[in-house]
Amino acid sequence: MTAPLKHSDPVNVEVALGNRAYDIVIGRGVLASLGERVAALRPGVRTAIVTDRTVAKYWLEPAEASLAASGIPTSRIVVEEGEISKTYAGLERVSEALISARIERNDLVIALGGGVVGDLAGFAAAILRRGVDFVQVPTSLLAQVDSSVGGKTGINSPQGKNLLGAFHQPVLVIADTAVLDTLSPRQFRAGYAEVAKYGVLGDEAFFSWLETNHSDIVRGGSAREHAIATSCRAKAGVVSRDERETGERALLNLGHTFGHALEAATGFSDRLFHGEGVAIGMTLAAQFSARLGMIGEAEASRVERHLIEAGLPTRLQDIAGFAQEGLADADALMTLMAQDKKVTRGKLTFILLEAVGRAVIAKDVEPTPVRDFLKEKLAQKA
């Protein structure tokens, strides 16, 4: 492991995609450099910032001030917070606002917000005038370590999560770790699930480091920058090798097949944040791996124990309104999982574990063992 970064040392992580390569700039206070970096990247550019109401209260004016200081004109598009904006209606609203702002092909859309804003603004940029470049300025931990990197953009369908979208890489990512200080504890914990995911799927040493240092990450110490940079390096490496998710990149979906089904079952509401769904999904994936004899029960318990210590839900019974129709029904959850993007010709694909730190892609998983496993988990007492 590399030594943790100091607060005074911003770090650049490159996503190596040839002539579409871009930097992830990580550090406290780097939002102030947004205008300078955009001006250097695209002289004479015009921008439009897409953000949500909550983020706008804290970070819209600082972002606009940074752009203005570099002589960059901008307009603002403010959407509602949460998955409610990642819909057909939300996409229409943002797209029409970008057209009204006269954002042209050589201009930039700036996504200032968490994963919802990044996905929505990125998808709108991808289809606007058949493709306008965009900059990610992630303001949640989850977005900084996962959704802002790699070019996945999209919206939800009533039938499932992220079923409409496009691969559209940003040209720059600005991850200011100071903005995370304004997150609620629950939002921060939800993002931490994606940090832990990188250790569980491919780096046991990092996972071990997280077990020791997760409290400092929460407090905002230097471990926070280190965890974010390590996570971004891991994702950047995978994306550079498999941009379109034809192979290795699918590993980044550890916990997501279960998690996305749970999000759909709860109506993409604040009953279950995305990262919380991933935490439960990772736990289920580890336990299912143990059920199949791929790992030992102790390793599955190690994953669950760390997520619990980080304050995350790990059991289906931890979800608000667990007993509501659709959530406590194994067949309903199987139907939702059948809409997962990794399904091929109706066959389920899961990301499972051979060890903590070594995930594998398991294709053509038979549904009966999965259904029986879910029935057992659903039958556990709260």
| Residues that are catalytic | 130, 152, 194, 235, 245, 249, 253, 256, 260, 274
Please, which residues have CB within 8 angstroms of residue 344's CB and are 6 or more apart in sequence? 363
Asked whether the beta carbons of 114 and 139 are under 8 A apart, the reply is: yes
List binding-site positions. Answer: 81-86, 115-119, 139-140, 152, 161, 194, 256, 274
Q: Enumerate residues 6+ apart whose C-beta is below 8 A from 372.
A: none
Cα–Cα distance list, 125 to 40, 108, 132, 162, 187 (Å) = 21, 8, 5, 16, 26
Give binding residues for NAD(+) as ranges: 81-86, 115-119, 139-140, 152, 161
Measuring CA to CA, how many Å separate 251 from each of 188, 205, 237? 23, 18, 12
Q: Please state the separation of Cα 315 from the chain's center in Å.
A: 21
8 Å CB contact between 188 and 176: no
Q: Which residues are annotated as a binding site for Zn(2+)?
A: 194, 256, 274
Query: What's the rounded Cα separation, in Å, for the pair 295 and 293?
Result: 6
